Amino acid sequence: MENKDFTFSFESAKPLNEIFETLLDVRKWWIGIFNETISGSSKKLNDEFVFKAGDGVHHTEHRLIELEPNKKVTWLTTKSNLSFVTKTDEWTNTKFGFEITQQGNKHKITFTHEGLVPKFECYEDCSGGWTLYLKKLAETLK
């Protein structure tokens, strides 16, 4: 269990292309909880964006590294500064993203933050934060 990556799954009955477009646009789901700002782009491979939240407590930079339309999207965290933990670069070189699979007449959306594991100092706060964003996203895509 110590090395288990954070994951969160939910289902959606929305059209597949609508789901994927929402997931690809981080401004549609990674905002609205901790006074976030997002600059840059995330539409095509190698696009980069900067995410800031909590009045500077969380600063991360990301590159879109995997893009399979209507199936999968993955970002690599290239730089991180989490000022609320001792090792402020815990997210650097971790990956996060979504996979979409067909489940009956619905789509299952699975979010994974590869490298965000329980041994990380930020795990409790970060997994809790992800859960808030992802529950909000699940409501949007209901």
Express each pLDDT in 62-115 by its tens digit: 999 999 999 999 999 999 999 999 999 999 999 999 999 999 999 999 999 999
Q: Residue 3: pLDDT band by 50, 70, 90 thresholds? A: confident
% of residues, the chain, pLDDT over 90? 96
Full-model pTM: 0.95
Helix (H) or strand (E) holding 123: helix 123-140
Helix (H/G/I), strand (E/B), else coil: 16: helix
What superfamily would CATH give domain 6-140? Answer: START domain (3.30.530.20)
Average pLDDT across the chain, whole number: 96
Q: Report CA 85 to chain centroid distance, whole Å.
A: 19
Domain ranges of the chain: 6-140
Q: Residue 56: pLDDT band by 50, 70, 90 thresholds? A: confident
- Residue 54, both tokens: 């909590």
Helices (H), 40-113: none
